[in-house]
Structure 1
Amino acid sequence: MTRAPIVDSDTLAIRRASRIIGTQIAIACTAVVVVVILAVVVYILSEISVAELVEPVPDPDNLKVGAVGLLRAAAVLGVALIILAGVMSWAVARRAVQPLGDALRIQRAFVADASHELRTPIAVLDARLQILQRALPADGPSSAVVAELRSDAKRLIGIVNDLLESAEIGGSAPTEDSVVDVNAAVGVAVESMALIGAEKQVTVKLDAPDAATARVPASAITRCVVAMLDNALRFAPTGSVVSVQVAVTKKTVSVTVRDRGPGIQGIEPNRIFDRFAHSESAADEVGVTRTGFGIGLSLVREIAVRYGGSVTVADGSAEGTAISFTVPRARTP
């Protein structure tokens, strides 16, 4: 079975930019053409009476031209100019966004190179942790900590692999034949990040009242929620609650992470999913600067798009930020 090619988020961004620019240029050209046609119509109507409107005008060269004919010709010419403006707008827009496409390709190349460089040392770290784990007694006080370190190392390996996948252009669309319990995958992320939240005195609360299933790898869902929680905990005030809500509709499953931080500042909300985009820095109660969004949310968007979903800013006000990760729902037999 032939798999459909991947349409990555950068390609979607370029196409969206082309459509926006082309539409704006076409609207501007159309407005100019309409104004010219209206000016011609007004001029013709101001020069003749209503009775003379349908009368042919004799011409010395035996050519008869009436006002209605002039208006019809002006209308045909206007439509032709509008079509021409649309085609030219499309061509100009494609050329205008070409530098954006080149910049995004450079970014992808950098991410791929950096991921390749990170893969080896992380794999070596995991191997050394495995050796250490084998050397420790099973009931030793350090065994549990080393096991958690190995789990974190494996998660880092998974993130690097996702970065490599997100840097690839083209290829085959991934498939997931098994139905995954979204609540369980989200729960793993919440359990892991709750430890980090406890250090900041921030509570991570999960609300998943309904069964939720999707054909997305559980590891991918977990990594997306970890990235969203990492962002939320970075901005959440001390003593606040970061909520994780799983909502199910007939066609989709959504995971929304909400914090009570200062909201999105210094950047448009939709741009926080761009690779290497950063929001304005904010300082917490003790003066520690918290820098804004980086590669994590970009990875969330890559995974969402890869599996036919999306990620959006549900709320970016001064009362806090809510980010929703949505994927198609899988029907259970």
Structure 2
Amino acid sequence: MKQAPTDPAVRQVRRASRIVGLQIGIASGALVIAAIGAAFIFVLDQLRPSEVNEPPRPGEHKIYIDATEALIAFALVGFLAVAIAGVLSVIATRRAVRPLARALQIQRDFVADASHELRTPLAVLDARLQVLQRGLAPDDPSKPAVADLRTDTRILVDVVDNLLLAADPERTEPVSLRDAVTRSLHSLEVLARHAGVELVLGSRDDVRTTVPATTLTRCATALIDNALVHSPAGSSITVDVRLQGDQAVLKVTDEGAGIVGIDPTRIFDRFARAHPAAPGRTRAGFGIGLALVRDVATRHGGDVAVTRTGPTGTAIELRLPAG
């Protein structure tokens, strides 16, 4: 017996094909019914009861149809036509989307294989850093840098694990959005000091969501890093985490010059960039980070939007279903 596909993407594509096929079948059936109805009305209009007893003229041929029998015949033909149109629509749609389902499955397999192959060298790198860290003297000036390298390596391991989860998605346990934001602030602290920008954690509700922890950290990092690029020296970036209704809200507010050079609604498009960056910034983005945030929000039933922008700064909110 043929088993149902286990890949969620394949199931989703097949479900979509059934819906599209059903819609096409309904549209085709409506057209068939309209055509048969018009034909039936035309036939009834041509029937003349007074002509039944009239003898045909020379060279004239007449056919008399019973109205009830004609209605039954048209109804049967219409039903069969609608049924055949629906079945053919579903079959044609499934064949049309089959390459898409296969492509999605290949993509997931590639992500899973690549992520699995990256885990081993990253684990070896973390082990070597651990050996180096243990061998350093307590007063060695490079000890903090080695500790930061170990933290960065563990973050990379978490990212790879998150890719494996994305390739084979499962319902995860609720995780703390506040903890993910704290990790992001810690990892970006060195960039903030270099830029002369203060990172401030404002409201910090212990709100939870079912989005994977590494994904949350990546989203928070992308939003805060985007604010860093556009924040002048001496300013601050405020990050708030709160529970609003049934949503976990992450709000990042900067004191930059606002979004200029592009419509604020387009900054979440891929390769879209606002100009200019803050004075003295040599690090420019590629317009990918915010697009990834929007993809994550959409995939998990949330959204991200610019809630305020102007000469005094910009505020962006990420909303996710609370766990």
Q: TM-score range by the shorter chain?
A: 0.5 to 0.7
Please say if residues 190 and 226 of structure 1, whose CA atoms lie closer than 8 Å, have aligned partners that are also in contact: no
Structure 2 counterparts to residues 164-313 of structure 1, below 5 A? 164-168=164-168, 173=170, 176=173, 180-193=175-188, 195-196=190-191, 210-213=205-208, 216=210, 220-221=212-213, 223-233=214-224, 235-236=226-227, 238-239=230-231, 245-249=241-245, 252-256=246-250, 262=262, 263=264, 265=266, 279-282=270-273, 284-285=275-276, 290-293=285-288, 297=292, 301=296, 310-313=300-303
- What secondary structure sits across from 1:290 in the alignment? coil
What is the rounded CA distance, in whole Å, between the counterparts of 2:193 and 2:150 in structure 1?
21
How far does residue 289 in structure 1 lie from its aligned partner after superposition?
5.6
Match of 1:160 in 2: 160
2:58 — aligned with what? none
Q: Are residues 209 and 66 of structure 1, via their aligned partners in 2, closer, same or farther at CA, if it must alter by over 3 Å?
A: farther
User: Partner amino acid for 2:230?
Assistant: T
SS in 1 for 2:271: coil
Normalised by the length of structure 1, the TM-score is: 0.65
- In 1, Cα distance between equivalents of 2:308 and 2:69: 61
Percent identical residues: 32
Give the distance between the partners of 2:198 and 2:42, measured in 1 at CA. Answer: 72
Mark the CA change 1:191 to 1:90 in structure 2 (over 3 Å): closer, same or farther: farther
The equivalent residue for 1:25 is: 24
Q: Is the 8 A contact 1:181 1:213 kept in 2?
A: yes
2:320 counterpart SS class = strand
Uncovered stretches (5+) of structure 2, i.e. residues with no partner: 54-63
Q: CA deviation at 1:326?
A: 2.7
Q: Distance in 2 between matches of 1:233 and 1:198?
A: 14
Once the 2 structures are TM-superposed, how far is the Cα of residue 33 of structure 1 from its aligned partner?
1.4
Compared with structure 1, are the counterparts of its residues 143 and 194 closer, same or farther at alpha carbon in structure 2 (3 Å cutoff)? closer
- CA deviations on 1:107-139 (whole Å, 9 max, x unpaired) are 223223322332232222212221221122445
RMSD of aligned Cα (Å): 4.5
Which stretch of structure 1 is more off in the superposition, 285-294 or 31-40?
A: 285-294
Q: 1:253 to 1:207 in 2, by over 3 A?
A: farther
Tell me which residue corresponds to 1:325.
320
- Give the whole-Å Cα distance in 2 for the aligned partners of 1:205 and 1:18: 48
Structure with the bigger RCO (C-alpha within 8 Å, sep 6+) is 1
Q: Which residue of 2 aligns with 1:276?
A: none
Q: Tell me, what secondary structure is at the counterpart of 1:239?
A: coil
- What displacement does 1:238 show? 0.8
1:134-145 matches, cutoff 5 A: 134-138=134-138, 140-145=140-145
**Matched residues in 1 for 2:306 and 2:97: separation?**
28
Counterpart-to-counterpart distance in 1, 2:11 and 2:219: 22
Tell me how far apart the structure 2 counterparts of residues 203 and 72 of structure 1 sit (CA, whole Å). Answer: 80
- Give the structure 1 partner of residue 122 of structure 2: 122
TM-score (norm 2): 0.66
Which secondary structure does the structure 2 equivalent of 1:282 belong to?
coil
Q: CA deviation at 1:156?
A: 0.8
Secondary structure, aligned partner of 1:97: helix
**Contact kept in structure 2, 1:311 and 1:325, CA below 8 Å:** yes
Unaligned 5+ segments in structure 1 are 59-63, 273-278
- Tell me how far apart the structure 2 counterparts of residues 141 and 115 of structure 1 sit (CA, whole Å): 34
